[in-house]
Amino acid sequence: MWLVTGGAGYIGAHVVRALQRSGREVVVLDDLSTGIASKLGDTPLVRASVGDREALRAAFRDYKVDGVLHLAAKKAVGESVERPLYYWQENVCNLQVLLEEMTQAGIARFVYSSSAAVYGQPDSTDLITETTLCQPINPYGATKLAGEWMTTATAAQYGWSAMSLRYFNVAGAGEADLADPGVFNLIPLVFRALDNQVPPQVYGDDYPTVDGTCVRDYVHVVDLADAHVAACEYVETHPAAGNTVLNIGTGRGSSVLEVLDTVSAATGLDATGARVQRRAGDPAQLVAAVDRAREVLGWTSSNDLSDMVTSAWQAWKSHNGETE
């Protein structure tokens, strides 16, 4: 039985369904601060914080948990700058509680949701490998890197098999009821602008990229969920392997203008952006090297940017009560 923390969230619900399709039993622990219980169907739900020791102990015992997939976290970069101590509490202190309770319960399989935010602003525009120097530039990225360090130390000390997945930019939807309800990422932000009949904002058009706008690696949430299934299989079949760190992306970059053009094609609406000043701290390009994920997990992405935008738009319309 796998316990998935944060399993009622946007990514979490996709991961839960992918695990279930693989034949694995799942129980979710989520405080529902951002998650939506209805996304889980009849999947068992423990409504609690990851920092709730008693809830963890009861869940481990009652559901005979032998693996934990940890997705629950606060992830808004701007909020992390405004509330750094809150982010350290939620993302690091709560993780410490989880790891301590796992050691007490004898659970030695762990998959950790990390982020490309650990890299900060790389010095070059080369593909980012897992050995690229980590220099996070905000508290969110710092807490994710600290979580990796805690996972590495715990796995080494107690003979665990663990995996830390560094997500790049997640987009898309697997099913209509699994839309990304947030408006922090580029594609949902563009959809909201279209709904409000205002042009989406393009922050800077003078970067050293193909068209002057920032380039990012977008990965379909369905592919990301499949990567989690592969990660679970890896830690199930490689005992005491320590903590393995992998990038999860496509290895391909898309500029902001390319995303806007793709949105226009998918929606039939004019998504032409309005140029505004650069935002502080935006790197010109962040694209993953994904060779290691392929070598270790046998996983590669299968969906392109058009797939992501089209699926996200269909789910967005469903989520906002619109019909075809």
Q: How far is CA 174 from CA 184, 228, 309, 312, in A?
A: 19, 15, 11, 8
How many C-beta neighbours within 10 Å does residue 244 have?
A: 21
C-beta separation of 320 from 273 below 8 A:
no
Q: Please tell me whether residue 147 adopts helix, strand or coil conformation.
A: helix
d(CA 296, CA 231): 9
Q: Which of 10, 140, 218, 234 is catalytic?
A: 140
**Is residue 262 within 8 Å of 189, Cβ to Cβ?**
no
- Quote the CA–CA distance of 87 and 192 in Å, as a whole number: 27
Give start and end residues of each alpha helix (H) in the chain: 10-21, 53-62, 77-82, 84-88, 94-105, 139-158, 186-195, 221-237, 256-267, 291-297, 305-319
Active site residue 86: no
Q: DSSP class of residue 90? A: I
Here the tokens at position 239 are 């005992």
Annotated catalytic sites, by residue? 140
